[in-house]
Structures are given as C-alpha cells and as structure tokens.
Amino acid sequence: MSALASLARRFSTLSSRSVIRSAPGSMSGRRHVSVSARSSGGGSSFGMAASAQAVSEVSERLLASKPGVETALNLGFREISCEYITEYGCYGVLYEHVKTGAQLMSLICDDENKTFGVVLRTPPANSTGIPHILEHSVLCGSKKYPIKEPFVELLKGSMQTFLNAFTYPDRTCYPVASTNVADFYNLVDVYLDAVFFPNCVNDKSTFEQEGWHVELDDAAKPEDAIYKGVVYNEMKGVYSNPDSVLGRDLQQAVYPDNTYGVDSGGDPKEILNLTFEEFQDFHAKFYHPTNARFWFYGDDDPTKRLEILSEALATFDKRTDIESKVAQQKLWTDGPKQLRKKYAAGADEGPDGSKSYVAMQWLLNDDKLDLDTELALGFLDHLMLGTVSAPLRKKLLDSKLGEALTASGIEDELMQPGFSVGLKGVKAENMDKVEPLVMEELRRLASEGFDEKSVEASMNTIEFALRENNTGRFPRGLSLMLRSMTSWLYDRDPFTPLRFEEPLQKLKARIDAGEDVWRPLIQKYLLDNSHKVTLFLEPDMDLAKQTEEEEKERVKSEMTKLSSDELAKVKENTELLKKKQETPDSPEALKCVPSLSVADIEKEAKKLPIDIRTDGLPEGAKIITHDIFTNDIVYAEILLPLRGVPKDLIPLVPLFSRCIFNVGTSDESLLELQQRIGSKTGGISASVFTSDVKGEEEAASYLMVRGKCTKSQAPDLFAIAQDALFKCKVDDADRITQMVLESKAGYESSIVAAGHRFASSRLHAMENTEAGWLGDSMGGLGGLFYNRELAKSLTDGGDEAFAEVSAKLEQIRQAILGSHGAIVNMTGDAALLSEVTPLAEDVLTSLPANGAPSCDWAERTPLEAGNELLTVPTQVNYVAKAINLYKGGYDLHGASYVVSKQLNVTWLWDRVRVSGGAYGGFCDFDTHSGLLTYASYRDPNLLKTIDIYDGTPGHLAGEEVMEMDAESLDKAVVGTIGDIDSYQLPDSKGYSSLMRYLLKVNDEKRQLRRDEILSTSKEDFPKFGEAIKQAHEKVGGYVVAVCSADAAKKAKEERPELNFNIKSIM
Ligand SMILES: [Zn+2]
C-alpha cells in the first residue's frame, strides 16, 4: 500500500544523525549482491490470521495492563481514545498531557523490542539546514548528561536495537529501541533530556562542530582556511549525488509556496549563511512539549510510561504561540512547468553521452487524502511501476530512451501526496521524448485499465507485505510510529494509518463488484492535473570543480576582510574547538550515562536451531531447517554452488542471477511469470553470496534464491523457483541489454553515494583470496569495469555480441544446476517444516546429479596490491585502508570485537568525524579473512585520515586507553554483546543460522568468543594495537580512496612516498 510504496524511499529526502551502515562484518568481508524481483504476493487465504478467540484473549490481557483513567489523570494525562488494533495485536491509547498539551500514543503489545520516540514539527523557512544541524546537536550533551556526546556513550554501552535521529522535510524524529527494559529506560531518559534541555543552545562550539566553522591552522596563511562541519560535509556528499539532486530539485519545484520548497537537510552553500542566533531561536520556537508527539510501544509497563513523561514534562506549561502547522501548497492553475538544471558529472561523461536525467513530479492534492484514496493510489503505484513487467516501468525501459528508472513512485509521507516518474542515463537528443512517452502510456492506461491477473497479483503482494509486517532490522514499533505520523503530524487521527483491514476489504469489494477503480484515478490525479513539473537534469563536467573553487573563493574573500587580530581569533577558535573535541570526558563525567553492567549480561551464547539432513537425498545435497515459529509463513533459500563456473564467466554471474526472475521462461512471458510470482508467493529473488571462510583457501560462494510464502502456497513457490532456474530465457536480447544498462547505472550511482564500499572491496580484492576476487568481480570495481564493457559491446556489437553473451549465460546455468553441494534452507515451525520438506526434496532430486566439475580458479590474474586513488566527480572523499592481521601472525581472540567496536565509537569517531569533519569514520575486523579495514564516509580529508588510521596502535597503547576505568570497560563489553545479540525477526534468525553453518562458525567457537569478550581486559587493547602494528610492518597495509581528481593530485604531490596510482573511474 501507500506505506509499502514509500518504505523503499523512506531515506531519500531524509537526513539522519549517524551513517546508516551495514552491520559489522559485512563491510569488507561478505558481499551480498542482491537482485530483487520486486514482486511477491499471497493468496487471499492467509494462514497468518490468528483465530478470533486467540485475539480476544490477547486483547483482554493487554487491556488489563492499561492504567485506569483516574491513574492516568493523577499522572497528568487525559485519555482521549483507546482502540484495539487487530492488525498488529496491540492496544493503542491516545493521551493528552493536560499541563502542556503534548500528545502521547501508548501502544501496549507483546513485542519485546520496545520502542520510544519523540517527534517535533519543525518546518524550516530556508535551506540553511537548521533542523538537521539541530538534530545532530541536541545529542551532544544536555542538562542531566553534560558530556560531549551522550549519543556516543549509548552507542558504546547500550543493548539498543535502534538508536538514531531523522530530519524530514517537516519534522524531526528521535527514536530508540531495546529489548532490555532497564536499558530501554536509560535510552528514553537520555533522549528526553537531549531534546528538551540540550547544551548546544548555550554552547556555540557544538553548532560549529556539527554545522559549520572556518578552520585556520596558521593565522599568517589565511589562504589555507577551509569550511568544516559534520552536516556541512554530509550535505556536500548528498549534493554530489545526481539522484538526490534530482529528488531535491523536483520537490522544491513542486512545492514553491510552502516548507517543502526548501531543503531541511541544508544546501551546503546556504548552511554557511546560518548564524548561531537563528539556530538558538529555532530550538526555542519548536522544541517544546506542546509541539511534540510522544510514542511508546512494546511489552513494558504502560503506567511507567506516564510516570516517565510526567516527570520529564513537569517544568513546562502549555504554549499557544507555536506556529508549526505545515502550510498548504495550493494546486496550480497555470501549470505544468518545466525546469532545466545541471549536476556535477565526471570527466569521462561527454555532453553526447547518455548521462542526463528526465523526471516528472505531480502534486496530487492540496490536502491530505482520505485513507481509501491513499490506499487505492498505493495500489495504482504498484500496478504501474511495482514489478519489472508493470506497464509504465516496462514502457520506459523498452523505449531505450534511458538506462534505468529514477525517482519513481508515490510519495505519501508528507502532508500533500506526490507522484513522480523518470529516467536516468538519457542521451541529450532523447530528452524531449521522455515526457510524451510517459503521458502516452498514462493515457493508454486511463483508457484501457489493467488486466485482472495483474490486479490480483498486486493485491496479493500488498496484502502479504501488510500482514507479514516484516520490517527487517527496523523495529516494528518504529515502523508503526513513522506510519502513524503521516496522519498524526497533521492533526489527524494517529490510528487511521495503522488500520488497513477495513479499507483493504472495501477496496477488494469494489474490485469484485466490477468497479473501475484505477482509470478514474489516473485521469483525475495525473492526466487532468496541471500541477506537474518536468525536470531536465544535465551533466556539467565543470560543475564539481567550479563548486569547489567557489567554496575556496568564498572562504578566501571572507578571510581577506579580516584584520590580523581577527585572523588570530579564527586560528585560536580552531585550536580551542580541536582541543575540546580531542579532550575526552573524564571517567567521572561519563558515569552520568547509565549502562548495564557485565554482570547483567547473559553468559551463554544464544543458540539458533538447526537441523541438517542428507539421508535420502542425492549425493552431496542437503536440506537445512530451523524450527522457529513464523506464523505459518515459509521462508526458503535454495543455494547452488558457483564452483563449477569457469573463472572467466564469474563476472557474468550477477547478470545470470538477474535473469532468473526478470526475463520470463520458455513457457511463460515475463508478465505471466511476474503475475504468478505476485499472486502465489510473498516474494522471490535471486542473488549471489560470497565470503571468506576462516582458515580455508576456498571461499563460500553460492547463487542463492530466496523466497517466502504462506503454507498453502509452498508448492507454487518451489515450482516457480525450479521453472525459473531451469527455463529462464537467457536469449532475450532486449530485456538482457536493458538489465545490463540498469546495473551499469546502478554501479555508477552507488560509487558516488557509497564510495567507501568500493574502496573496501578493492582492498579485499588486493588480498587475492577467492572471496576477495569474487566480491570485486561481481560487485566491486571489477564488476563495474566489466559491466561497462558489456554495455558497450551490447549496444555497439549487435546480434553477434549478444549471441556470445547469451551462450555464456547458458553455460553458467549448466555449471550451476547440479545437486552436488546444493542446499535447501527453510525456516518455520516443526509442523510446517515437515509439510514442506518433500517439496525441498523434489527440488534437489530434480537437479542433474552429475553437475559441472569444479573449476580451477587459482590461475586468475592477480590484482596488484598498492595505494590507489580512484577519482570521481565529488565534493567529498571516501578513504579506506586495510591490513591483514592473520598474515601478520594474529590469532583470533574475542577481545578483537570489543576493541574494534571501541575504536569505532572513540578514536575514529572523535578524530575522523568530530574533529576531522567527516560524516562517518569506522573500522571493521573481518574475522573470516583477518582483514582489518578502516573507512571514512563523506570525508573532507584524505591524507589526514590515513594518519589517523596509522595512529591507531599508538592510541591503543596510549593514555586514554590506559586510564580507562572498570566502568568504561564494562560499557564497551556490554555494547559489544548488544551488537552480537541484536534483535532478529524469525526469518533472519533462520538466515543467520544458515550463515553460521556455511562459514563454519559453530556454537563452541561462538561460546569461546563470547567468553573472551566477557573477560576482555584493558591489556587486550594495546595487545590488539601491537597486532595491527606487527601486521603493518610484516605484510604492509594499502590505501584506496574514492575522491575528486583535484584531491588525488594534491595527495600524490604531498606524499610521493605513498606511490599513489591515480585512476579515473567516472
Ligand atoms: Zn545528518
């Protein structure tokens, strides 16, 4: 539905406090190239619905724990309404805090992953990024927690399952979650104090650190001055990414008259205009309980929630002067409009290249839509764009006007809904053809409508997703909060967005009655709606350099205005700020942030169920099952070893994996296959998995098909997987060429948005292990180069070139399809598993027993190890360095987990982020390969960051670590265990258990590591530092950075001894 449609794009125009990065271990080690079919479904007969009796038992028990009306009033809260939300098995109670007018939603349920959030309405009036900088700053010390960063203390020592903060275009959210109740209360208290009593409003240095300041090291050299700040750099990174430039430009053009017409995240140029006084005023204006919405969710005591808030809000009174309502954008009568803009492109992209973007956005209504319409539009979105065979998506890709879709779909999280659709990778001469094509297809759909099977497939896809409510690593309570807020924030009913059952049934009834639901929607909201902007975004090869020069000019001209006394002050300020940033809080001060103690931690490593079966199966095949309650949903993986694929074909494996569900089979067209997937499963996709296995030469490497469905759909799920694997049409030239262009475009955007991943993967590849080579060839730089060549040969080479590729894809299929080494992995409860196991047996016996023989991968061309600078058009750098500790003689010890986590939240956070000004700086110790990889994210520095990495052993042997007291050590251990024991939904438990099996991490090893973690001592820190130092001396360490051409040139000149090899990759 609507919420589903927007989930995927949730982070597009959203800024968050800390880098949302992958879990430790996945940064350099395991690479998971995911190729999703974006399709799914589930019959109308869901096995997931609980019985009516069970529902009433649960609801009665939950209701009994709700505080009485009197009790609530005594604590200062008036109960406004109370409803049982059947959809999520929880009671929702809406309160008003009488004294301040603050509102609270208290959701009582059985979920142990407790969630709290406070959301403030913070509509900005300009693009100076105040809400975003404030979001970063309030977590830098408060009244009860007067230390540098309580947020980081929580990252260090909490069992949190979620800790971050988000800035939306009109609101700021502060959510936390934990499964441990004492820990949960600690998190809530720190966040409440941060939001309402932050020190940053009285202390300009936080504003300078998180927002912006001038850094000047030598008063006699004002020309060396630069602008710095965490948000400033974060946003420079955002503005270097054409996809986000496009999203921002469109949004601002569609809403010229209200708050959505400015950038709440901050335009780097505008950020520099922001004053400390404006920043203070903004907090005073909006950060008040009267303007706040509070959220509690989970199995904690509901009365205690009222007590906590009552105390936190005690000193506030109601205010009537807060104007935070989002003003309406009136619908145009003089549209549609057009807009031409430029983005910073790399040197390789000539003006004739296919590098332009064309996208359209509509404003759908001048107010919030009612839920029925919103739901119907969500379906329409899925029908038009949601699958690879959806007509609007297909029309655009088939046209060959562009390489991939961009900015496409419904946006319904804001007050007024929008819809956008566009193409990237468009040639200059085709730019004018995109819009007419979109309009033509919309007119066709408005007149012909959609076929019944597609509607059925969309219905099942959306219904399955709503009922499964699989929020991945995101706590369910938080996902509900964000959904509720789409109505509540605009003074509407917070319950409405959570109740999908009734509108869904209504919609189904309308469809069943033969009503034409979709055509009138297309007519009214798109065709007859002139509030539309078409954006032409063109590459400009000089823009990156120009922006950089303007920035330099700006700081230079500011500095020349200053007297020598004033310059001395700037220098002094730089020193003061650095000193403050680099002086750690005293252990005494840090005690203010409460933490659990090691004594509270479970000593035994959590085990996950696993059962491995080989009897009765073809030789070398296995069925692995995990007996976990999944509410009658089957989660299944089919793994086929890559070992039989010749080494030269390895880079083509991701393309083969995309083909499986995205081209159709010899019996079914793509549309038919997609419809079958949509109506008979909860989703199915194929991807490639590779990883080092500790102590072994051979990597784990598989093609993996992952799917889910209800119990009754299981035969369909396995049949679809088999049909697609055996019969997918690897000879569909048009579709396969399209996919190659799409993945090339995907590579190119992610290298600018996430350069650290490419740099890390390159370093892993320099190890010349199997996993390093596989990862690079199928998802790293090797993959990018290969894809580019492939795209070129397919577009220039015609039928002959394609025939060659097609033959290779067929060869890959033959090499992969074999029962030896194949695994079917399934998660569900015992009864469910015994029912579906015969299906898994069928899959394994259907595979050829004498599959391809193992290939020799050893004789591949090794990648030369060395320091590399990979240049792309960007305003920020991504700097990585890796050292292999195992090669240096290090034996894995559990303390390494504690030390590397501690490095992330102290040394690297303080130096790379806080004083360095990068958005993120972290390290990852891959225990499988032994590779310790440092990486920075949206970093203004390059060489300085390398120096910080190299300073790590010194830091670990230094004063700061030596003076660490027992409590800080405890905190580090607790935080490490918190990461290891992180909360998982049933499907990820089954998947983790499979991973442990594949990577040969058994329960004994895990218990040994846990024991070592729990008994980590201070001495383990310098010991680990020594291991880094020794490895560095013995086997060396290499640097790979993704940066601008200028930064590369400068770095090479400054450090000739590093022998940087500069490669332009974009
Ligand atoms: Zn941020």
Task: Give residue-wise pLDDT tens across range 315-324.
Answer: 999 999 999 9
Q: Evaluate if residue 29 carries a pLDDT over 80.
A: no
Cα dihedral: 732, 733, 739, 743 (round 10): 140
Backbone angles phi, psi at 887, to 5 degrees: -65, -25
- The residue among 494 and 914 whose pLDDT is bigger is 494
Residue 1053 lies in a domain: yes
Are 754 and 624 in the same domain? yes
Q: Tell me, what DSSP letter sits at residue 420?
A: E
Ligand 1: distance of its center to the CA of 531 in Å? 31
Cα–Cα distance, 127 to 150 (Å, whole number): 28
Last residue of a domain, one of 831, 859, 887: 859
User: What average pLDDT score do residues 887-895 get?
Assistant: 96
Last residue of a domain, one of 859, 892, 917: 859
Among the listed ranges 300-304, 582-586, 601-605, 768-772, which one has the minimum average pLDDT value? 582-586
User: What average pLDDT score do residues 951-966 get?
Assistant: 93
Write down the pTM of the prediction. Answer: 0.91
**pLDDT bucket at 582, cuts 50 / 70 / 90:** confident
Ligand 1: distance of its center to the CA of 16 in Å? 4
Q: Which residues pair with 539 in a beta bridge?
A: 343
Are 871 and 854 in the same domain? no
Nearest to residue 23, comparing CAs of 826, 729, 984?
Answer: 984
Ligand 1: distance of its center to the CA of 468 in Å? 31
**pLDDT bucket at 749, cuts 50 / 70 / 90:** confident
Ligand 1: distance of its center to the CA of 651 in Å? 36
Dump pLDDT digits (tens) for 216-258.
Answer: 999 999 999 999 999 999 999 899 899 999 999 999 999 999 9
Are 450 and 387 in the same domain? yes
3-state secondary structure at position 253: helix
Q: Evaluate if residue 27 carries a pLDDT over 50.
A: no
pLDDT value for 16: 63
Residue 937 lies in a domain: yes
Ligand 1: distance of its center to the CA of 234 in Å? 6
Residue 251 lies in a domain: no
Are 901 and 823 in the same domain? no
User: What average pLDDT score do residues 302-331 get?
Assistant: 97
Q: Evaluate if residue 859 carries a pLDDT over 80.
A: yes
pLDDT value for 1007: 97
Ligand 1: distance of its center to the CA of 643 in Å? 43
Are 762 and 887 in the same domain? no
Are 850 and 925 in the same domain? no
Q: What is the percent of the chain where pLDDT is above 70?
A: 94
Ligand 1: distance of its center to the CA of 345 in Å? 24
Q: What is the 3-state secondary structure (H, E, C) of 308-329?
A: HHHHHCCCCCCCCCCCCCCCCC
Dump pLDDT digits (tens) for 97-112.
Answer: 999 999 999 999 999 9
Are 845 and 922 in the same domain? no
**pLDDT bucket at 23, cuts 50 / 70 / 90:** very low
Q: Evaluate if residue 711 carries a pLDDT over 50.
A: yes
Are 514 and 631 in the same domain? no
Ligand 1: distance of its center to the CA of 152 in Å? 15
Q: How far is CA 312 from the centre of its chain?
A: 32
pLDDT value for 347: 66
Q: Evaluate if residue 54 carries a pLDDT over 80.
A: no
Are 635 and 710 in the same domain? yes
Dump pLDDT digits (tens) for 372-423.
Answer: 999 999 999 999 999 999 999 999 999 999 999 998 899 888 999 999 999 9
pLDDT value for 583: 87
Number of domains, the chain: 3
pLDDT value for 349: 52
User: What average pLDDT score do residues 535-539 get?
Assistant: 95
pLDDT value for 348: 62
Ligand 1: distance of its center to the CA of 231 in Å? 5
Locate the DSSP E strands across 617-774.
Answer: 622-627, 633-641, 684-691, 700-710
Last residue of a domain, one of 814, 844, 859: 859
Ligand 1: distance of its center to the CA of 249 in Å? 19
Ligand 1: distance of its center to the CA of 75 in Å? 36
Are 872 and 850 in the same domain? no
Q: Evaluate if residue 273 carries a pLDDT over 70.
A: yes
Is 83 labeled as catalytic in the residue annotation?
Answer: no
pLDDT value for 15: 62
Residue 378 lies in a domain: yes
Are 383 and 529 in the same domain? yes
Is 135 labeled as catalytic in the residue annotation?
Answer: yes
Dump pLDDT digits (tens) for 549-576.
Answer: 999 999 999 999 999 999 999 999 999 9
User: Active site residue: 79, 153, 208, 210, which one?
Assistant: 210
Dump pLDDT digits (tens) for 349-370.
Answer: 544 577 899 999 999 999 889 8
Q: Evaluate if residue 135 carries a pLDDT over 60.
A: yes
Q: Evaluate if residue 893 carries a pLDDT over 90.
A: yes
| Torsion sign over Cα 1035, 1039, 1040, 1045 | negative
Mean pLDDT of the chain: 92
Instruction: Count other Cβ atoms within 10 Å, centred on residue 276.
Output: 15
What CATH number does the domain containing 891 carry? 3.30.830.10
Residue 849 lies in a domain: yes
Are 983 and 884 in the same domain? yes
Residue 623 lies in a domain: yes
Ligand 1: distance of its center to the CA of 937 in Å? 12
Residue 648 lies in a domain: yes
User: Active site residue: 135, 208, 411, 767, which one?
Assistant: 135
Q: Evaluate if residue 22 carries a pLDDT over 90.
A: no
Residue 689 lies in a domain: yes
Cα–Cα distance, 123 to 219 (Å, whole number): 39
Q: Which residues pair with 687 in a beta bridge?
A: 34, 704
User: What average pLDDT score do residues 614-641 get?
Assistant: 96
Q: Evaluate if residue 664 carries a pLDDT over 70.
A: yes
User: What average pLDDT score do residues 908-935 get?
Assistant: 94
* Containing structural domain, residue 742: 611-859
Nearest to residue 114, comparing CAs of 171, 167, 186?
Answer: 186
pLDDT value for 1060: 97
pLDDT value for 4: 38
Q: Which residues pair with 31 in a beta bridge?
A: 690
